[in-house]
Chains A and B, each alone.
Chain A
Amino acid sequence: MTAFDYITPRPVRWPARRVSGIAILMALLAFAFLPLVLGAPDPLKQTLRLTLQPPGAADWFGYDHLGRSMYARLTAALRLSLGLASLSVITAMIPGLLLGILAAWRGGLIDRVVSGLSDTFLALPGLLLVLMLTAIVPDNAAMLYIGISLVLWVEYFRITRALARPLLNAPAVQASQLLGFGPAYIIRRHLWPEIAPMLLTIGAYGAASAIMAIAALGFVSVGVRPPTPELGSMMIELLPYYEEAPHALLQPIAVIFLLVLALQLIARKDKP
């Protein structure tokens, strides 16, 4: 624009932890969505002669107790978990972020009302809330999604508000206002650069807890119900066969472990 442009972004140096987390996540994403490109067997199709068949050269993942392809079931379950988790995280992030900034900026009644609302959601442990919502309309992934989003937005709201409040009260914002800058500038230059790194952290933790919650509900058979492939319900189904087919039980465990591990590495240790 002019000869005076200093808006060069600074290179962000991401720690090795985060990079390795992203690498694992990418690999899992590729694994989950590859069947959509290459084609895969139907995860619900039962072939009794293949029951509990161990992995072999032709099929790397083997078959479950009903002779269903573990590869097809694993990837389908992974797509379900990833999709539901990322949808919930995004749904929770937008209102959480906006309400957090609004409450910090306006204070007063708005702040008290929204903070009161977030306290209401914190009164009950998250999984209990999700559990009850899924009980209202059973066997419905939409309820799971609504419940998880309702639990997750609170964290975004609280942290955004806590970060934004001191920033908005700092001399820097007052100085910018005196210099003639408007609210859009203050959000873009003062708030966003401080809040953005935190969004990734909360997002990764939120996705991890969403995935854990989906699996936990599947495991106690009240979430996504069989025969739909889901990591938690696959484990409870395969538990009785752990001696004959340990490979089958270990597969969903390994997938969920890698997934949550990757998200934790991305989130880094310091949870704000």
Chain B
Amino acid sequence: MTPLLTVENATVESATGRIVAPVSLTLQAGRPFTILGETGSGKSLFAQAIMGLLPVGLTASGRVIIDGQVLDLADPASHRPLWGRQVGILPQEPWLALDPTMRVARQVADGHRFIRRLEAAAAMKAAADDLTALGVAGAGRKLPGELSGGMAQRVAFAAARAGGARIIIADEPTKGLDVARRDEVIALLMKEVEAGGAVLTITHDLALARQMGGDFAVMFDGSIVEQGEADMVLSAPSHDYTKQLIAADPENWNERKVPAGKRDDIVLVAEDLAKARGGRLLFSGQGLRLHKGEIVGVTGASGSGKSSLGDILLGLLKPDAGTVARALGVAPVRYQKIYQDPPSAFPGRITIGANVSDLVHLHRLDVGRIAPLMKRLKLAPELLHRLPTEVSGGELQRFALLRVLLLDPVFLFADEPTSRLDLITQQETIELLVELAREQDCAVLIVSHDTALIEKTCDRRIEIGEKGGAEASVA
């Protein structure tokens, strides 16, 4: 095997201290390399450092050897001649990385024309060939705004390597992409590997790392804590953090099915619901009965109407047909919702504490309940003085939970409550949600794209069909 790129003792420092400890690794031709880490682990900064793309205020040290050429990481300018020629950088969120005002084929042709020095016509021809090879031949005449996420990903890939780069660095290549598109991205990257190139993937997605295979490293708090063959590390992790990370994957959760209790206390009944959007039928004939303390999961492809179903149950959205009935004599505020993106569910300019305090005053709640509940939710009291943007996503989602639990809900619709959170935080959040709902005898409807999460968490599951038929099945 031939090493295409070697990193020796790469570090990243800010004015306040070291963010990435010395990291060394080698990319082999024809072999993928994946670095796994959560938000704040320093994995993206490491990637930026070896590309010479660190933001202002951060400095790197160490060196990178490419093709016998030694580059000093402390001198980012020296990296520029390699960009596009030897190292191709696959941008995050490629639909933003393509020039919105330029036709796609011309953006791919730029590499052929200006780096490989082809004639304009020959460059356009080469670009068209690239796009055809990637299965997006028709995209060339379009503008980036007209492409789907998956198409934009492939176009960006073609543009990144048009200059002849054989080493591809991909930082979070699946960020913002539908889970179904993940396999396409992996196929794209593996194609490059099979052709004898090298691919360095930086990701937080355990499944992506597993599917890529090859060399694998886990990054935590700025250091690589474990490194080796992907299959080996993932099946027999040795470091505590890796173990914790793998255990947090919904695939590996313990089944937490609680025997179905009394089935008489119905909190919500829906019958014969139908909803269409944009002229497409999402579902029809959908019925549902929810009992107290029951945890029900909804799965289905993105755009299948999972969230719409929950919103209809809460009365936030009108169904095209069918009825929703609530239990008699229950206050409307006891039907609540947990949102996908926690910061967007709080008023942005007031502190979390002010928001909770407003709620207490409005409903004359018992102030004494807050402190113990916050403790249960592992929320420190000083967080109340912060704005929603000043706490982590996991903390804010737990505050959202606090807010609704204070109202003693009988029904809670959790719409992808953890899809923006890291694995370990996700596990923590779901555990708390389920535990507290069971204690308060509250019915929960969880929507998630992650089938494993639903199966391990819920008493039963509803599948919303993607072909528009009424394929709903109640297990």
A–B direct touch in complex (beta carbons closer than 8 A): yes
Query: Once the chains bind, are B358 and A181 in contact (CB under 8 Å)?
Result: yes
Q: B337 to A6, Cβ gap below 8 A?
A: no
Q: Is the interface of A mostly helix, strand, loop or mixed?
A: loop
Q: Do A175 and B345 touch (CB < 8 A)?
A: yes
A176 interface residue, CB < 8 Å from B? yes
State which of A44-52, A188-196, A215-223 sits at the interface with chain B: A188-196
Q: Which residue of A lies closest to B370 (CB)?
A: A4
- Total contacts A-B at CB 8 Å: 82
If A171-B339, A179-B333 touch, whether A4 touches B360 (CB-CB below 8 Å) is yes
A178 adjacent to B336 (CB under 8 Å): yes
Q: Which of A2, A6, A178, A180 makes the CB contact (< 8 A) with B384? A: A6
Bound Cα distance A176, B336 (Å) = 10
Cβ-defined contact, B335 with A178, below 8 A: yes
Give the contacting residue for B345; candidates A1, A172, A194; CB below 8 A: A172
Is A193 a contact of B361 with CB atoms below 8 Å?
Answer: no
Contact, CB under 8 Å: A178 / B361: no
Q: Which residue of A lies closest to B314 (CB)?
A: A178
A194 touching B348 in the complex, CB below 8 Å, given contacts A4-B360, A180-B362, A180-B363: yes
Roughly how many angstroms separate A172 CA and B340 CA in the complex, as a whole number?
11
Assess the A6–B356 pair: CB atoms within 8 A: yes
Q: Shortest CB–CB separation between residue B374 and chain A, in angstroms?
A: 11
Contact of A171 among B341, B352, B361, B362 (CB under 8 A): B341
* Contacting pair A181 B362 (CB below 8 A): yes
How far does the alpha carbon of A180 sit from the alpha carbon of B406 in the complex, in Å? 12
Q: Cα distance A194–B359 when bound, in Å?
A: 20
Residue of B nearest to A7 (CB): B354
Contact A171 B354 (CB under 8 A): no
Q: Bound complex: CA of A4 vs CA of B356, how far in Å?
A: 9
Contact residues in B for A57 (Cβ distance below 8 Å): none
Residues of A within 8 A of B316 (CB): 174, 178
A6 in contact with B362 (CB, 8 Å): no
Residue contact B337 to A189, C-beta cutoff 8 Å? no
Residues of A within 8 A of B387 (CB): 10
Question: Which residues of A97-136 are within 8 A (CB) of B?
Answer: none
Which residues of B from 385 to 407 have beta carbons under 8 Å from A? Answer: 385, 387, 400, 403-404, 407
Shortest Cβ gap from A70 to chain B (Å):
47
By size class, the interface of chain A is: 20 to 34
Contact residues, A146-189 vs B (CB, 8 A): 170-172, 174-176, 178-181, 185, 189
Given the interface pairs A179-B333, A180-B333, the reply to whether A6 lies near B357 with Cβ below 8 Å is yes
User: Is the pair A171, B351 in contact by a Cβ cutoff of 8 Å?
Assistant: no
Report the minimum CB–CB distance from B363 to chain A (whole Å): 6
Q: In the complex, what distance in Å separates the CA atom of A180 from the CA atom of B409?
A: 13
Query: In the complex the two chains form, is A7's CB within 8 Å of B347's CB?
Result: no
For A270, what are the chain B residues with a Cβ–Cβ distance below 8 Å?
none
B359 touches A170 (CB 8 A): no
The answer to the question of A243 belonging to the interface, with a C-beta cut-off of 8 Å to chain B, is: no
Distance between Cα atoms of A172 and B396 in the complex (Å): 13
A7 contacts which chain B residues (CB < 8 A)?
350, 354, 357-358
A254 at the B interface (CB under 8 A): no
Q: Which A residues, 1 to 60, have Cβ-Cβ distances below 8 Å to chain B? A: 1-8, 10
Interface string of B346-384 (1 = CB under 8 A from A): 111111111111111111000100100000000000001
Contact B361 A1 (CB under 8 A): yes
The answer for the CA separation of A10 and B385 in the assembled complex, in Å, is 9
* Bound-complex Cα distance A178 to B345 (A): 11
Contact check, A6 vs B347: say whether CB atoms are below 8 A apart. no
* Chain A residue, CB-CB nearest to B336: A178
Q: How far is the CA of A175 from the CA of B402 in the complex (A)?
A: 13
B residues 279-334 touching A (CB-CB < 8 Å)? 314, 316, 332-333
| CB pair A175 B354 closer than 8 Å | no
B352 and chain A: residue at smallest CB distance = A6
Minimum CB–CB distance for B410 against chain A, Å: 13
CB-CB under 8 A for A3 and B349, given A171-B339, A171-B344, A175-B339: no
- Min CB gap B306→A, angstroms: 16
> How distant is B459 from chain A, measured CB to nearest CB, in Å?
24
Assess whether A176 is in contact with B333, with CB atoms less than 8 Å apart.
no
Q: Which residue of B lies closest to A194 (CB)?
A: B349
Cβ B359 vs Cβ A189 within 8 A: no
Q: Is the CB of B333 within 8 A of A190?
A: no
With A176-B347, A179-B359, A193-B349 as given contacts, are A2 and B367 in contact (CB-CB < 8 Å)?
yes
CA distance A170 to B344 in the complex (A): 7
State whether A172 touches B347 (Cβ < 8 A).
yes
**How far, in whole Å, are A2 and B404 apart by their CA atoms in the complex?**
20
A171 to B400, CA, bound (A): 12
State the Cβ distance, B442 to closest chain A Cβ, in Å: 14
Within the assembled complex, what's the spacing in Å between the Cα atoms of A194 and B349? 7
Q: Which residues of B contact A8 (CB under 8 A)?
A: 351, 354, 385
Structural contact, A3 and B367, CB atoms closer than 8 A: yes
How far, in Å, is B189 (CB) from chain A's closest CB? 34
- Residues in B neighbouring A176, C-beta threshold 8 A: 347
With A and B bound together, what is the CA distance between A162 and B358 in angstroms? 27
Q: A2-B360, A6-B356, A181-B362 are in contact. Are A171 and B345 (CB under 8 A)?
A: yes
A172-B344, A180-B362, A190-B347 known; A4 and B357 CB under 8 Å?
yes
Contacts of A185-213 to chain B: CB distance below 8 A: 185, 189-190, 193-194
- CA A190 – CA B351 in complex, angstroms? 12
- A177 and chain B: residue at smallest CB distance: B316
Q: Which residues of A contact B404 (CB under 8 A)?
A: 179
B347 touches A178 (CB 8 A): no
Chain A residues contacting B356 (CB-CB under 8 Å) are 4, 6
Residue ID in chain B nearest A175 by CB atoms? B345
CB nearest to A185 among chain B residues = B358
Verify B336–A189 contact, CB threshold 8 A.
no
- Kindly report which residue of chain A lies nearest to residue B353, judged by CB atoms: A6
Contact A10 B344 (CB under 8 A): no
A1-B333 Cα distance, complex, nearest whole Å: 24
Cβ of A6 and Cβ of B333 under 8 Å apart?
no
> For the complex, what is the distance from the CA of A2 to the CA of B371, rounded to whole Å?
14
Cross-chain contact B357 with A5 (CB below 8 angstroms): yes
Residues A179 and B407 in contact in the complex (CB < 8 Å), given A171-B344, A189-B350:
yes
- Chain A residues, CB < 8 A from B350: 7, 189, 193
A-B pairs with beta carbons under 8 Å apart, 13 shown:
A2-B361, A6-B353, A8-B354, A10-B351, A171-B341, A171-B344, A171-B345, A172-B344, A172-B345, A179-B333, A179-B362, A180-B362, A193-B348
Closest A-B pairs by Cβ, 9 of them:
A6-B353, A193-B349, A180-B333, A4-B367, A171-B345, A171-B339, A175-B345, A7-B354, A6-B354
Q: A3-B367, A6-B354, A10-B387 are in contact. List 18 more A-B contacts (CB 8 A).
A: A1-B361, A2-B361, A4-B353, A170-B344, A171-B345, A172-B346, A175-B337, A176-B347, A178-B314, A179-B333, A179-B359, A179-B404, A180-B332, A180-B363, A181-B362, A190-B347, A193-B348, A194-B349
